[in-house]
Amino acid sequence: MFRDDDEIKIFYEIKEKIGEKEVISPKEMAIIDENAEYLGINRLMLMENAGRAVYEEIKDKEGEFIIFCGVGNNGGDGFVVARHLNKATVILLGKEDEIKTYEARENFKILKNLSIFGNIKIREIRHVNEICDIFERLKEGKYIIIDAMLGTGQRGELREPYKSVVSELNKLKERNKELFIVSVDVETGDLKIDLTVTFHKKKNLNKNAIIKDIGIPKEAEWIVGFGDIKALNLIENKHKGKNGKVLIIGGSKDYFGAPILAGLAALKIVDIVGILSVDKVIRKITHPEFILYSLEGDYVNNVDYALEVADGYDVVVIGNGLSVNEKTKDFVNEFINNYEKKLVIDADAIKVINYHKFDFREDVIFTPHKKEFNYIKFSSIPESTILLKGKKDIIFNSKNVKINLTGNKGMTKGGTGDVLAGLTGAIFAKNDPFISACSSAFINGYAADLLLKEKGSYYTPIDIINKIPNVLRLIK
């Protein structure tokens, strides 16, 4: 399965096997939205297509149109609907200068220009009692209410004035049976709706939705882009240790650099990085940032001790420089079959696992290159995530598959894989496995691309590590 050299062919083979996701979460949609822009698709165009799609569904309805708009792009879609209707009252839940994005602001400006002629009426409100007159009118008669308040950016409990507007509309819906309420993309809070016009794919929050294509290509779902990085939880918490703890288990009498590179990469993201290795390696580590755990002997051993140490960490990254022999084979298999938390399996560890006895559970990420991938034996695509490194990286599990296009030939240097493994473990500390593997592949490659511009291919894995913060600053 998937042993072809052509990554795109492997991608389609995997896609064929795992099938299409028909319903997605708002968070997944937000990533697709961002990655459409990463592919060069203009957000103004998407907003125009979204607003037009809603307009087409409601334009023949009888009654007066009242459009409730938020300050995000859901509101922006509402501005576009108003323009196409060319006869509507637009109620902005906020002030014009609070509108969040260029594309929404541009559409609001157009409405303001049109409003001079009286067909478009605009109200900007902070508090629900500024529109008592509107709610009074809605008590009887035919109205089409458009909910362009909140879409995929909705988080948590509704804040004011959204909360009161939604509860007023729900009361009016009970009272006046001639009200027709349409939500744009995603219903705002618990708003009672007659119809939702959602874009691109059905959202898992939608109740009664029709799906409209707004020109987002499928490739926006297939490529790793800025959207994945923007969706990451990174260093959200100021309390030490709350931003993740990663333990690197690697190194041997033959290799000491690999676990250090993995550890240095992880340190760019998480608070605590431990390295568990043999004393020949540990005594070569002079970096004060690491917490060190030293074992006797030439190869990592003592599973009980390793499990005890690992219990104090969020993620274990295992394999870098471990060496391949009977001792490491025993250690790795016993460790991974007893360790129940998040695991990144890289390099030598990939080569020594008894796959027929391994539980490919969800919280495991493999980071093989093509040759290492041939060691991983599975009968059907596993729940565990596989980051298959290549000119194009393919990231997949039994539910998802994506391709990462960042990176260049300068990354073939020894140690680049260790950097990726450490970075993957660090992101994984606070994120789900699939987005962690996608994002670390993207960030690692993007850092290398920035270095290629500066230095040609003559950059080192340490250069990549030191470039990671620039990539995150640029995107987050």
Residues 6+ apart with CB under 8 A from 76: 47, 51, 69, 99, 101, 103, 104, 107, 108, 148
Site for ligand LP7C6HRI (CB under 6 A): which residue of 24, 54, 69, 71?
71
- In the complex with K ion, the residue whose CB is nearer, 183 or 384, is 183
The encoded tokens of residue 387 equal: 């980051």
Question: What part of residues 38-57 is at the interface with ligand LP7C6HRI (CB under 6 A)?
Answer: 46-47, 50
Interaction mask 75-104, ligand LP7C6HRI, x per CB under 6 A: xxx----------------------x----
Burial (CB < 10 A; 0-12, 13-18, 19+), residue 93, is buried
What value, to the nearest 5°, has the Cα angle with vertex 224 and ends 399 and 199? 70
- In the complex with ligand LP7C6HRI, the residue whose CB is nearer, 157 or 326, is 157
Give the CA-trace dihedral at 422, 427, 431, 435, to 10 degrees. Answer: -90
Residue 301 in marked binding region: no
Residue 77 in marked binding region: yes
- In the complex with ligand LP7C6HRI, the residue whose CB is nearer, 33 or 168, is 33
Shortest Cβ distance from residue 135 to ligand LP7C6HRI (Å)? 19
Site for K ion (CB under 5 A): which residue of 24, 58, 172, 184?
184
Selected range binding K ion among 155-163, 186-194, 375-383, 413-421, rule: CB under 5 A: 186-194
Residues 6+ apart with CB under 8 A from 118: none
Residues 6+ apart with CB under 8 A from 165: 68, 93, 128, 149
- In the complex with ligand LP7C6HRI, the residue whose CB is nearer, 48 or 463, is 48
Beta bridge partners of 209: 196
How far apart, in whole angstroms, are the C-alpha atoms of residue 258 and residue 200? Answer: 44
Beta bridge partners of 195: 182
Shortest Cβ distance from residue 105 to ligand LP7C6HRI (Å)? 12
Residue 152 binds which of K ion, ligand LP7C6HRI, none (CB < 5-8 A, kind-dependent): ligand LP7C6HRI
**Contact in structure between 161 and 131 (CB atoms under 8 Å):** no
Residue 314 binds which of K ion, ligand LP7C6HRI, none (CB < 5-8 A, kind-dependent): none
Question: What part of residues 210-239 is at the interface with ligand LP7C6HRI (CB under 6 A)?
Answer: 214, 216
Quickly tell me which residue has 């297509």 as its tokens: 49
Shortest Cβ distance from residue 138 to ligand LP7C6HRI (Å)? 22
How far apart, in whole angstroms, are the C-alpha atoms of residue 283 and residue 370? Answer: 33
The encoded tokens of residue 241 equal: 């240790």
Binding residues for K(+): 74, 147, 188
Q: What residues make contact with ligand LP7C6HRI under the rule CB under 6 A?
A: 29-30, 33, 46-47, 50, 70-77, 100, 150-159, 162, 184-186, 199-200, 214, 216
Binding residues for AMP: 417
Q: What residues make contact with K ion under the rule CB under 5 A?
A: 74, 147, 183-184, 188
